[in-house]
Structure 1
Amino acid sequence: MGRYTMKSVSLNRLPIGSGLPKICIPIVAHTQEEVMKTAVQVVRSPADLVEWRLDFFDSLSPETVLETATELRQMLHGLPLLATFRSHREGGQQQTDDSAGIRIYHCLMDRQLAEAVDLELSQPADIRRSILSLARQTDTKVVMSYHDFRRTPSQKTIEGILGKMAAEQADIAKIAVMPQTPADVLRLLSATVSARSRLNIPVVTMAMGPLGKLSRISGSLTGSAITFGILDHASAPGQIEAGLLKNFLDELTVDQ
């Protein structure tokens, strides 16, 4: 029975864009020990995939990151790994220049230690092209992302941003916005439905904060392919506890 069964992308045999929205659990640990402790919890949770937020990690030396990533993948027992170094301008935790995160991405992709990386649309065009090119060479998927922590753009703007990501040949297009009114949330949901029907890649959308929680459980209706849940610590405002999120998704499943 069809629930947005087309336009899916596979992350280690996990289909993104078909079936129920997939639950992604962020790891926001500061040390290698904390990463591994969280990984133990993650594999016991309803997680379908895992996001490692590298901007929370204290040591950005390539050696430490590669060692941690290698051990983390072993701990995850096949759960796909999305590596994310969020820039400070888009809510990241470290006030470093973009080169640190880009360098880490290159190391992880060269060693094929992540199924996907998060690439911000706000990165310079030459950096985006470089990451996308290396991703193709290393069979790494690219989640292109855009964050607005102040407002919710117009529906036309939201669809335009997602469309630009698709045009740049991202594998998955992601946008997160901050709603100020209920109408903002509804506008995001409407933009998601429209973009999902028009674009040739999966889309991931969310309205942040308490007002936007509805957007995190409505993916089977709108077509948003991934939703982010938490164990103990959130990586963005408005995320829902993973077990509760799973219950909501199961209860709200609709056939299209």
Structure 2
Amino acid sequence: MPDQPSNVDVRRRTATVRGVEFGRGRPEIIVPLVGDDLDALLAQAEAATATPARVIEWRLDRFRPDLEDAEDHREVTLAALGPLRAALGADRALLVTFRTTAEGGRRPYSTRALGALLETLISGRRAGTQSAVDLVDIETAREEGVVASVVDSARRHGIAVIGSHHDMEGTPDEETMVRILRGQRRLGADIPKIAVTPRSARDVLTLLSASLTVAEDLAGPHIAVSMGTLGASSRVTAETFGSAATFATAGEGSAPGQLAAGDVAGMIELLRP
């Protein structure tokens, strides 16, 4: 496995996908698509392309909840990838994410099925195009072998990896969050990500401090989010505290506390340091 994937600039410690450079200047806005069928998915994609967001996240676990069998779900997902890529156009990067139930997702999926789905999307098999996916999210708490296999496959196909960790119950201490983010990078994530649930305003400060500590490593971009209404400020102060991206909505959101993409873009601009 190479030390750095081809889309990471080791001189400036940024990660670039489809012309979008994570880790330089203004944080990127990522809009999630949570449609449960193809029509809803494409309608949300149309709404997302009308926002300032340059990165669109497809939440695979929210797609076709009526299909219980993992293989059936994988087939309809692959069939939808081509139309979705066409709807987004050439200028927006596509991030594919399957959030497991352990980290706030909507459907159960075995570790083996998860790896098979992500690796098939990465390779572009039966998708109609080899460049449909630009980034892939893999939860780094999943089985080590599956994480390594997804990372390796993404590197071979020139796709950036977001290594993610979500705490739906609370906010760990700063040392733990810093350790998680640094560990994700060692596992091969181009963009480590942590999202936590605050129970107090001080929890939000702890998340922001952890983000700043990791940013001072100058090792590459990362994403740090404090979820819920209490943590909403973390979504618009990302640049000040070193986070390379934030999540915002164009309709229905995918996590508590997400704000409208247009509002987030305006607040980011007003708060730029």
* The two structures share one fold, judged by TM-score above 0.5: yes
| Structure 2 Cα separation of the partners of residues 199 and 96 of structure 1 | 36
Give the match for residue 47 of structure 1.
53
Whether the 8 Å contact between 2:211 and 2:243 is mirrored in structure 1 is yes
Whether the 8 Å contact between 1:87 and 1:98 is mirrored in structure 2 is no
Displacement of 1:30: 0.4
The residue type paired with residue 187 of structure 1 is T
More helix per residue: 1
Are 2:261 and 1:242 equivalent residues in the alignment?
Answer: yes
- Aligned ranges 1:21-170 → 2 under 5 Å: 21-58=27-64, 59=67, 60-78=72-90, 79-111=92-124, 112=130, 113-170=132-189
| Structure 2 Cα separation of the partners of residues 95 and 106 of structure 1 | 18
Give the match for residue 250 of structure 2.
231
Unaligned runs of 5+ in 1: none
Displacement of 1:162: 0.4
| Structure 2 Cα separation of the partners of residues 42 and 98 of structure 1 | 30
| Structure 1 Cα separation of the partners of residues 109 and 75 of structure 2 | 18
Are 2:18 and 1:7 equivalent residues in the alignment?
Answer: no
Whether the 8 Å contact between 2:229 and 2:256 is mirrored in structure 1 is yes
Unaligned runs of 5+ in 2: 1-10, 125-129
Deviations, residues 8-27 of structure 1 (Å, cap 9, x unaligned): 10011100111100000000
| Structure 2 Cα separation of the partners of residues 238 and 100 of structure 1 | 30
Displacement of 1:170: 0.8
Q: Secondary structure at the match of 1:205?
A: strand
Displacement of 1:45: 1.1
Displacement of 1:199: 4.8
Are 2:200 and 1:176 equivalent residues in the alignment?
Answer: no
Displacement of 1:97: 1.8
| Structure 1 Cα separation of the partners of residues 225 and 197 of structure 2 | 9
Q: Secondary structure at the match of 1:145?
A: strand
Q: Secondary structure at the match of 1:15?
A: strand
| Higher deviation after alignment, 25-34 or 93-102 | 93-102
Whether the 8 Å contact between 1:155 and 1:191 is mirrored in structure 2 is yes
| Structure 2 Cα separation of the partners of residues 7 and 152 of structure 1 | 27
Deviations, residues 74-125 of structure 1 (Å, cap 9, x unaligned): 1111210000001111001002323333222111111142101101011111
Number of aligned pairs? 250
| Structure 2 Cα separation of the partners of residues 76 and 231 of structure 1 | 14
Displacement of 1:6: 3.6
| Structure 1 Cα separation of the partners of residues 146 and 271 of structure 2 | 39
Are 2:206 and 1:194 equivalent residues in the alignment?
Answer: no
The residue type paired with residue 57 of structure 1 is F
Whether the 8 Å contact between 2:111 and 2:146 is mirrored in structure 1 is no
Q: Secondary structure at the match of 2:219?
A: coil
